[in-house]
């Protein structure tokens, strides 16, 4: 049953991705990081968060794989754990927050028997045919981490994760940190998250000259033509190394692309000429690669452009078999001709090194995420009709006579009917194509799919649900209008958010919220992890959406979801302005029933633990019970005493806090302060009548 649970909990498997990236690592490179003072401090349980920042192509992903391998080798006991996440902008549909957290849990859970809570969670959802929420995964992950003596988490390419979801991911990761948990993040330098991790350590990632030289030497060995040229002209070896070193600018990616360009040259003279013309930045290098593609013979050029259309603009990475079938589709044909299937080596050869086969995952992808940015930039010039071409080929494929009975099926489990003889069928059924086009905001493709009978209310059992929930999440209002015009149910449930309105509210897409309300969306629907749309907006600090929902009748004290009420969602996430707005509309500051209530105590206790004196003041001014007792800390004063919140303790006492109230895990405020060495607080409590001997 353990393996069934591991496979059920998340579709992500970063074990394979780690192995694939590590295979590309050149042994001996990157060792400078392991000996860096900041890394050693982080590794030895010093600073909790290490930020490795570097420009595109500097080798951050390979560095991540090297670090993961180093940690796994060094800490092999069952009490230690190492988990990694490799973010990819092309995989946002599967790399959702709940799946990412579950993948961390999966990696850490392999070595030990599963906790009973996991079996209970699995049974609960299997019986109901539902999926666990973010909070449920976070809970079992916290339990698992607490059972380990040390845990290292490595998150690569944070800048590839949707910017509007950075905060949610980082917030969840921050909650995993503790005395024995460490987090390493790689990204480009512009990513900002000091507000969540104010005390992080930072290390700049730039390939050293020694590392790039080692890499170049290995790549030359793997290039038959270059090796032959060097055998004839030994001096050419130093010329190549010197030139590429001078133009790589600390980027392995540039070095790799330059070697790829040189490796196609047929003579020594051609190599030397190319060395003089090597570009010095990525865009110029990609331009040069495209020029090589366009200068090929007609058949090779056409194949390369077709391949790049699929690899750069498909809704997700295609497997080798899927790409082969996609390229074999003839729009006027009535069936798939297997004689038209291409060998993948031919496909790779015509694309100038811009695509690779990810061997472990068996998918074809662009060589680097900057390559995707390049193709996004030139789409309006060279690939204007890419999405229409993809949609047309999908429709042609689904129209093949042998596939019509299968393609016309409608199922809430879209992949159950896939025929192993047609791998591409999994990619291109109408409904998943509709959701993919909706996610990207491709309105003409959405219209085309609807015209061919796609069910606008088809619900996938993943984090997005229906197409309308997808576009509501991403804020594509024109696509939302189109879907509604064709009968999309605005109150359909199925995503982690519950409804389209909750998704739009959480993401702050106020124009979509207005549209949904105008089409009779239920503002008080209680579904999903956030309970109501008002809770979703409050949780994510979307004050304008919060006000709009209140103006349209949202129940300010409605309970449900993981936060309990909208007010609890706001205060737990320290959103003072939203909390004030909710109070002004009648929010109950003493409401009970949330996870915060059962795990942390009252709202006042949570604000105290967070050290948020402004929120504590706000709560007290609006009638918060200063002596409410519950949760592990007993009272707010005990929470302040155990965490050294002097100003808050003074404020609580001034508002009538009982210095001798008993409860919680410490017994009293005085015992909490004494246990944690808070001398000033001990003095304060004694001055206000705290008794030194009490029953616990």
Domain chopping of the chain, boundaries: 2-204, 209-280, 293-428, 601-696
Asked: is 601-696 a CATH 3.90.1170.50 domain? The reply is: no
**Higher pLDDT among residues 249 and 62, named by residue:** 62
Residue 696 has pLDDT above 80, yes or no: no
CB 497 within 8 A of CB 526: no
Between 167 and 52, the more confident residue is: 52
How far apart CA 20 and CA 649 sit, in angstroms, is: 53
Q: pLDDT digit string (tens) for 458-481? A: 886 555 688 999 899 989 999 999
Q: Of the given ranges (175-189, 301-315, 454-468, 592-606), which has the lowest mean pLDDT?
A: 592-606
Q: What class has domain 2-204?
A: alpha beta
**What pLDDT, on a 0 to 100 scale, did the predictor assign at position 592?**
63
Q: Measuring CA to CA, how many Å separate 43 from each of 38, 109, 151, 174? A: 9, 21, 10, 17
Name every residue whose Cβ is closer than 8 Å to that of residue 151 and which is 6 or more positions away in sequence.
80, 81, 82, 83, 108, 145, 176, 180, 181, 182
Residue 405 binned pLDDT confidence (cut-offs 50, 70, 90): low
681 close to 649: Cβ distance less than 8 angstroms: yes
pLDDT, position 391:
77
Selection from 446, 443, 533 nearest residue 490 by Cα: 533
- Ranked by mean pLDDT, the top range of 69-73, 274-278, 284-288, 378-382 is 69-73
Q: In this predicted structure, what is the pLDDT of residue 520?
A: 94
Asked whether the predicted pLDDT for residue 416 surpasses 50, the reply is no
Name the more confident of 308 and 590. 308
Range from 274-278, 402-406, 625-629 carrying the lowest mean pLDDT: 402-406
User: In this predicted model, what pLDDT tens digit does every residue of 8-25 receive, in sequence order?
Assistant: 999 898 988 898 889 888
Whole-number Å distance between alpha carbons of 408 and 395? 12
Q: Of 270, 276, 257, whose CA–CA distance to 229 is shortest?
A: 270
Enumerate the H helices of 329-368 as residue ranges: 344-349
Helices (H) and strands (E) in the chain, counts: 39, 8
In this prediction, residues 376-382 reach a mean pLDDT of: 84
Confidence of residue 355 (pLDDT cuts 50, 70, 90): very high
pLDDT at 154 (0 to 100): 97
Question: pLDDT digits over 29-63, tens only?
Answer: 889 999 999 999 999 877 889 999 988 788 899 99
pLDDT level of residue 595 (50, 70, 90 thresholds): very low
pLDDT band at 406 (very low <50, low <70, confident <90, very high): low
Predicted local confidence at residue 419, as pLDDT: 47
pLDDT band at 418 (very low <50, low <70, confident <90, very high): very low
pLDDT at 630: 75
What mean pLDDT is predicted for residues 531-548?
Answer: 93
Which one has a higher pLDDT value, 626 or 643? 626
In 385-471, DSSP assigns E strands to none
Question: pLDDT of 216-243, one tens digit each?
Answer: 888 888 888 898 999 989 999 999 999 9
pLDDT-derived band at 663 (thresholds 50, 70, 90) equals: confident
pLDDT at 150 > cutoff 80: yes
| Mean pLDDT lowest among 31-40, 361-370, 649-658 | 361-370
Top-confidence residue, 91 or 433: 91
pTM of whole model > 0.85? no
Same fold, 2-204 and 601-696: no
Can you give the pLDDT at residue 52? 93
| Phi, psi angle pair for 620, to nearest 5° | -65, -40
Per-residue model confidence (pLDDT) at position 401: 64
And the tokens for 485? 């015009």
Strands of 355-358's sheet, edge to edge? 318-319, 363-366, 355-358
Q: What is the mean pLDDT of residues 406-417?
A: 44
**More confident position, 415 or 333:** 333
Write down the mean pLDDT value for the chain: 85
What is the structure's pLDDT at 675?
80
Q: How confident is the model at residue 598 (pLDDT cuts 50, 70, 90)?
A: very low
pLDDT at position 161 over 50: yes
Following DSSP, what letter does each residue of 239-299 receive, concatenated? Answer: HHHHHHHHHHTT-HHHHHHHHHHHTT--SHHHHHHHHHT--SSHHHHHHHHHHHHHTS-HH
């Amino acid at each position: 049953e353990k393996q069934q649970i591991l496979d059920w909990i998340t579709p992500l498997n970063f074990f394979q991705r780690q192995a694939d990236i590590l295979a590309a690592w050149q042994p001996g490179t990157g060792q400078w990081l392991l000996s860096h003072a900041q890394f050693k401090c982080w590794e030895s349980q010093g600073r909790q968060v290490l930020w490795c920042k570097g420009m595109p192509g500097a080798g951050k992903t390979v560095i991540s794989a090297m670090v993961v391998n180093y940690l796994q080798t060094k800490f092999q006991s069952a009490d230690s754990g190492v988990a990694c996440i490799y973010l990819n902008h092309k995989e946002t549909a599967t790399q959702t927050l709940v799946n990412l957290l579950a993948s961390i849990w999966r990696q850490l859970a392999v070595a030990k028997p599963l906790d009973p809570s996991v079996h209970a969670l699995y049974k609960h959802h299997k019986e109901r045919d539902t999926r666990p929420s973010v909070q449920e995964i976070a809970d079992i992950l916290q339990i698992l981490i607490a059972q380990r003596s040390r845990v290292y988490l490595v998150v690569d390419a944070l800048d590839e994760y949707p910017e509007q979801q950075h905060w949610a991911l980082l917030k969840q990761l921050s909650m995993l940190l503790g005395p024995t948990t460490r987090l390493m993040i790689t990204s480009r330098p512009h990513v900002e998250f000091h507000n969540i991790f104010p005390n992080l350590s930072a290390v700049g990632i730039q390939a050293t000259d020694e590392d790039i030289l080692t890499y170049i030497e290995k790549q030359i060995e793997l290039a038959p033509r270059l090796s032959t040229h060097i055998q004839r002209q030994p001096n050419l070896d130093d010329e190549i190394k010197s030139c590429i070193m001078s133009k790589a600018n600390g980027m392995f990616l540039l070095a790799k692309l330059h070697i790829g360009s040189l490796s196609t040259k047929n003579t020594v003279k051609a190599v030397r000429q190319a060395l003089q013309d090597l570009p010095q930045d990525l865009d110029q290098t990609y331009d040069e690669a495209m020029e090589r593609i366009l200068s090929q013979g007609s058949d090779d050029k056409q194949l390369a452009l077709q391949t790049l259309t699929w690899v750069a603009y498909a809704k997700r990475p295609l497997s080798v078999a899927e790409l082969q079938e996609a390229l074999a589709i003839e729009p006027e044909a009535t069936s798939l001709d297997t004689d038209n299937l291409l060998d993948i080596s031919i496909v790779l050869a015509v694309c100038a090194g811009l695509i690779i086969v990810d061997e472990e995952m068996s998918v074809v992808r662009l060589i680097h995420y900057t390559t995707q940015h390049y193709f996004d930039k030139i789409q309006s010039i060279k690939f204007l009709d890419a999405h229409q071409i993809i949609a047309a080929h999908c429709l042609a494929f689904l129209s093949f006579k042998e596939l019509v009975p299968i393609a016309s099926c409608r199922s809430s489990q879209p992949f159950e009917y896939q025929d192993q003889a047609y791998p591409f069928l999994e990619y291109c059924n109408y409904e998943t194509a509709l959701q993919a086009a909706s996610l990207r905001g491709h309105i003409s493709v959405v219209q085309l799919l609807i015209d061919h009978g796609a069910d606008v209310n088809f619900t996938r059992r993943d984090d997005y649900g229906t197409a309308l929930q997808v576009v509501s999440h991403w804020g594509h209002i024109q696509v939302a209008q189109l879907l509604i015009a064709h009968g999309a149910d605005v109150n359909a449930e199925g995503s982690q958010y519950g409804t389209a309105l909750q998704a739009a509210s959480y993401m702050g897409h106020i124009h979509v919220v207005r549209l949904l309300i105008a089409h009779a969306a239920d503002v008080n629907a209680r579904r999903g992890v956030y309970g109501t749309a008002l809770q979703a907006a409050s949780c994510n600090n979307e004050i304008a959406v919060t006000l709009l929902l209140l103006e349209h009748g949202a129940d300010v004290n409605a309970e449900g979801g993981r936060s309990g009420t909208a007010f609890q969602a706001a205060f737990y996430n320290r959103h003072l302005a939203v909390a004030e707005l909710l109070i002004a509309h009648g929010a109950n500051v003493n409401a009970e029933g949330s996870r915060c209530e059962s795990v942390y105590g009252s709202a006042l206790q949570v604000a105290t633990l967070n050290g948020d004196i402004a929120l504590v003041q706000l709560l007290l001014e609006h009638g918060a019970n200063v002596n409410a007792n519950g949760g592990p800390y007993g009272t707010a004063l005990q929470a302040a005493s155990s965490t050294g919140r002097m100003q808050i303790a003074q404020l609580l006492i001034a508002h009538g806090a009982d210095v001798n109230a008993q409860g919680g895990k410490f017994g009293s405020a005085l015992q909490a302060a004494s246990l944690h060495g808070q001398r000033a607080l001990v003095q304060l409590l004694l001055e206000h009548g705290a008794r030194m001997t009490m029953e616990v």
